């Protein structure tokens, strides 16, 4: 008969490598409305409107919610879809694939393995060598630009 106790957000693992959870209040305060809609409600930004679909900068794409490393600009390619597209992930364990049967279609949903954020979908029409197209939402990603060659030179 215990009373309701606060938020269930204190379930993150202590070592920082397991799944993490954020409170809804924090995410609403920290994310833009579009970022929140995409990552927490499996929304989709409109094609050709995101900040990364036509971005060719080199760097690492991280989860906008939990900062996990997801994609590299090395595997980004022009799919013509209007969304940032990659043919591979940095680490297979970085994302989780779920079967999405919404909208009368069977699609593979791509979510962040660390925090569960919705990222986009995966389609089997990508280029070699994987044949996969990770069709992502710019709003779910944050590009960390690659530092210059002389960053560590002294
Ligand atoms: Zn995440």
Q: Enter the pTM of the model.
A: 0.83
**Could you tell me which residues come within 8 angstroms of residue 120 by beta carbon, excluding any fewer than 6 positions away?**
44, 83, 109, 110, 134, 135, 136, 137, 140
Q: pLDDT band at residue 147, thresholds of 50, 70 and 90?
A: confident
Reply yes or no on whether 90 is catalytic. no
Q: Which residues place a Cβ less than 5 A from the ion ligand 1? A: 63, 65-66, 68, 112, 114-115, 117
Give the distance (Å) from ligand 1 centre to CA of residue 3.
31
Task: Please report, for the domain that includes residue 112, its CATH number.
Answer: 2.170.150.20
Find out whether 83 and 140 touch, Cβ atoms under 8 Å. Answer: no
52 is a domain residue: yes
Give the distance (Å) from ligand 1 centre to CA of residue 127.
26
pLDDT tens-digit readout, 50-109: 999 999 999 999 999 999 999 999 999 999 999 999 999 999 999 999 999 988 999 999
pLDDT tens-digit readout, 11-34: 444 445 568 899 999 999 999 999
82 is a domain residue: yes
Domain housing 122: 48-145
In the predicted model, is pLDDT for residue 5 greater than 80?
Answer: no
16 is a domain residue: no
Number of structural domains, the chain? 1
Give the distance (Å) from ligand 1 centre to CA of residue 65.
5
Instruction: Provide mean pLDDT across the span 29-40.
Output: 98
95 is a domain residue: yes
């Amino acid at each position: 008969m215990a009373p309701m106790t606060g938020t269930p957000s204190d379930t993150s693992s202590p070592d920082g490598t397991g799944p993490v959870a954020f409170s809804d209040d924090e995410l609403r305060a920290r994310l833009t409305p579009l970022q929140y809609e995409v990552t927490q409600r499996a929304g989709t930004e409109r094609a050709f409107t995101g900040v990364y679909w036509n971005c060719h900068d080199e760097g690492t794409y991280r989860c906008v919610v939990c900062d996990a490393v997801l994609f590299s600009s090395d595997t980004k390619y022009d799919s013509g879809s209007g969304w940032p597209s990659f043919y591979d992930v940095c680490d297979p364990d970085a994302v989780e694939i779920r079967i999405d049967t919404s909208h009368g279609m069977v699609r593979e949903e791509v979510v962040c393995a660390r925090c569960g954020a919705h990222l986009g979908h995966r389609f089997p029409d990508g280029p070699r060598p994987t044949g996969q197209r990770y069709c992502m939402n710019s709003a779910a990603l944050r590009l960390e630009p690659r530092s210059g060659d002389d960053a560590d030179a002294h």
